Structure 1
Amino acid sequence: MSKTKPGVEPSPEATETLLTHLIELRDRILRMFIAILVMFLILFPFANPIYTWLAGPLMQHLPEGTSMIAIDVAAPFLIPFKLTLLLAVVLSIPYLLYQVWSFVAPGLYSHEKSMALPLVASSTALFYLGMAFAYFVVFPLIFAFFTATAPEGVAVMTDISRYLSFVIMLFIAFGIAFEVPVATILLVSMGATTPAKLSQKRPYVIVGVFLVGMVLTPPDIISQTLLALPMWLLFEIGLILSRIMERKKAQRRATAGGDDAADADDGPDDDGPGGGGGTPRGGPGGSGKASGTTRAASSTAAASAGGGASAAARTGYTPLTDDEMDAELDRIEEEQAELRRQRGSASTLATDAPADPAPEADESQSGERLADDGQPDADASQEDGNTGRDR
């Protein structure tokens, strides 16, 4: 919780920084709106041809003598207008993502930037690929199936507004479905799961993609299968890419682990009180023992790090189980407790050592007190001598 008092106002620097970010965010949003508006103005004169091109997969399979209809009065104008606006947004996505990236990138680390930029670019390309797959592969198949199964005496004449809603739903469904590789790589990179666990859950993934296809597509087996199969294939692609990424990460960790082990072996020899492996100063029960224990713990940690690095280099990175993690934590706590006990014994010996000269000080003080007490006796004897001479 913040310890700032309610009455304390933020500093001028913090206020200026916040205002700067808000102004930059406003400018980015304005640029995004301007880009969409410019794209819309370019496409609006071609609104009707664009809608005709979009309705092409259905028009090719309509029976002869039938066509699409407009039920609402303003539908012949509003539906092409709506389609053009949506198309302007879709085509402006690269520029919109660039503006978002320009606003967020200064606050990211270098490794986050190196990971975020390829993911954003690949997710955009996969979204466009999903929409293209829906238009060129899925639409002809499902519209041919729908028009062929119409009962006799039923004229298939689809409303233009309902057709637009239908194809937009499919575009979004397939665009999101094609993001499966990106989602898989993100889950593995964040440590939420591993490629081995995902491969074990493959049967559940297959059932899940068919359920998603059933929910996102119309109630027919063709569109459901055409959505589920690409999702399964993309899941396998994402699994392969995540394994490659984990293998490279394990190699980097193995290299870094070897360097850390070498540093751990050299550290205690340089910093130890007795030099490179000599007998430590301070006696067996003093700080030398603690230093020897520290050196032993460091060498053990270095050996385990070196063994783990070599094992990781051979078999790849495998995370610790819960039991192994608990055992490692217990070992570290025992080592720390042993070091604390040794340091406590050393401090106790150091505290008790200067207590021996105290009796000598007491004897000197008592001698001074005796000398002081004996002074009146000397004065008394001198007065007795003077009295004898007078007599």
Structure 2
Amino acid sequence: MSSNDIDEKALPLMEHLIELRQRLIWSIGAFFVAFLVCFFFAKELFNLLVVPFTWAVHLAHLDTNHIELIYTAPQEFFFTQIKIAMFGGMVIAFPIIASQIYKFVAPGLYKNERAAFLPFLIASPLLFLMGACLVYFFFTPMVMWFFLRMQQPGGGGEAAIQLLPKVSEYLSLIMTLIFAFGLVFQLPVVTTLLARVGIISAAGLAAKRKYAIVLAFVAAAVLTPPDPVSQIGLALPTILLYEVAIYAARVVERKRAEASAEAEATASGDDPDRSDDEG
């Protein structure tokens, strides 16, 4: 093999590496810019995340004029703001990062594969957003209401027990819930992709339904705080999404069967031997 042949074969690899570097620069740059913006507005973003706690205080019929969170270490709230900026930066930059991944992978795909992959690229962040909204508007108020109901006003020989959440622990709670629900809401996307490539089937998913229900409650126990409200609140949507995944797999299989039947019909119509026999 000559040196020219080696150079000709190495050139496409170098082009791919250069393109990969360019995509990484765009992705990291988008995250860095979004991180700076979110860090600048970190306090406002944290106050926005405290709103569900305010709703929980209202549901518990407590004093809504004095919502108090604390931090017990000098650097705690600063690092909390960094976590908010990182989380917000990743969420904001995700469309750009996903588009860079798609642009890098797309040239190696067939046209029909790109057309099949693109809807999932759009559906994935939308489903994650739906899970995050469910956490923000419903489950976080319910979970905090559950914890607030454990307070003890004191008096009559009883000690006063009051909930004073730490800013870091409250942020960890709501971020954990958002991540858990956002991950679970990807179930239809993952199962549909697996059904498209033939790894799983609707019949197989339906047959394993009872195991999926058990795993849903196990996953809810691991991913959420140890309270029944959040655990049941995550397990039930997971089971519902599993049923949606079974339906999506059936739709994929039906379309695949229709496409296969059309291809067979086209092949039969173009068969010259069959045309001669019919003539």
**Normalised by the shorter chain, which TM-score bucket?**
0.7 to 0.9
Instruction: Specify the alignment match of 2:81 in structure 1.
Output: 80
Correspondence 1:1-150 to 2 at 5 A: 11-62=6-57, 64=63, 67-150=68-151
Q: 1:269 to 1:79 in 2, by over 3 A?
A: closer
> Per-residue deviation at 1:55?
1.9
Which amino acid in 1 is paired with 2:117? A
- In the aligned structure 2, how far is the partner of 1:91 from the partner of 1:23? 25
> Per-residue deviation at 1:173?
0.5
Correspondence 1:148-187 to 2 at 5 A: 148-151=149-152, 153-187=160-194
Residue pair 1:66, 1:157 contacting (<8 A) in 2 also = no
Between 23-32 and 139-148, the greater mean CA deviation after superposition: 23-32
> Per-residue deviation at 1:10?
6.8
- In the aligned structure 1, how far is the partner of 2:11 from the partner of 2:206? 51
Between 141-150 and 245-254, the greater mean CA deviation after superposition: 245-254
Instruction: Specify the alignment match of 1:220 in structure 2.
Output: 227
> Per-residue deviation at 1:197?
2.5
> Per-residue deviation at 1:263?
4.8
Deviations 1:272-317 (A, max 9, x none): xxxx8xxxxxxxxxxxxxxxxxxxxxxxxxxxxxxxxxxxxxxxxx
Q: 1:141 to 1:259 in 2, by over 3 A?
A: same
TM-score by length of 1: 0.63
Deviations 1:87-140 (A, max 9, x none): 011111111100111111111112221111111111111111111111111100
Residue pair 2:56, 2:142 contacting (<8 A) in 1 also = no
Which amino acid in 1 is paired with 2:226? P
> Per-residue deviation at 1:268?
8.5
Q: 1:36 to 1:193 in 2, by over 3 A?
A: closer
> Per-residue deviation at 1:59?
4.0
Percent identity among equivalent residues? Answer: 34
Which amino acid in 2 is paired with 1:185? T
- In the aligned structure 2, how far is the partner of 1:104 from the partner of 1:61? 45
Which amino acid in 2 is paired with 1:161? S
Deviations 1:353-375 (A, max 9, x none): xxxxxxxxxxxxxxxxxxxxxxx
Q: 1:198 to 1:61 in 2, by over 3 A?
A: closer
Instruction: Specify the alignment match of 2:156 in structure 1.
Output: none
- In the aligned structure 2, how far is the partner of 1:219 from the partner of 1:240? 32
Instruction: Specify the alignment match of 2:264 in structure 1.
Output: 257
Matched, 1:191 2:198: yes
> Per-residue deviation at 1:187?
2.3
Instruction: Specify the alignment match of 2:155 in structure 1.
Output: none
- In the aligned structure 2, how far is the partner of 1:171 from the partner of 1:219? 16
Q: 1:263 to 1:78 in 2, by over 3 A?
A: same
> Per-residue deviation at 1:204?
2.2
Residue pair 1:61, 1:144 contacting (<8 A) in 2 also = yes
Task: State the secondary structure of the residue aligned to 1:243.
Answer: helix
Which amino acid in 1 is paired with 2:20? L
What is the aligned-residue RMSD (CA, Å)? 2.5
In structure 2, runs of 5+ residues without a counterpart are 153-158
- In the aligned structure 1, how far is the partner of 2:274 from the partner of 2:42? 76
Moved over 6 A (4+): none
Which amino acid in 1 is paired with 2:202? P
Instruction: Specify the alignment match of 1:381 in structure 2.
Output: none
> Per-residue deviation at 1:14?
2.1
Task: State the secondary structure of the residue aligned to 1:55.
Answer: helix
Q: Relative CO higher for 1 or 2, CA cutoff 8 Å, sep ≥ 6?
A: 2
Instruction: Specify the alignment match of 1:285 in structure 2.
Output: none
Between 89-98 and 189-198, the greater mean CA deviation after superposition: 189-198
Task: State the secondary structure of the residue aligned to 1:260.
Answer: helix
> Per-residue deviation at 1:66?
6.4
Task: State the secondary structure of the residue aligned to 1:210.
Answer: helix
- In the aligned structure 2, how far is the partner of 1:66 from the partner of 1:247? 54
Structure with the greater alpha carbon radius of gyration: 1
Task: State the secondary structure of the residue aligned to 1:172.
Answer: helix
In structure 1, runs of 5+ residues without a counterpart are 271-275, 277-391
Residue pair 1:59, 1:67 contacting (<8 A) in 2 also = no
Deviations 1:313-344 (A, max 9, x none): xxxxxxxxxxxxxxxxxxxxxxxxxxxxxxxx
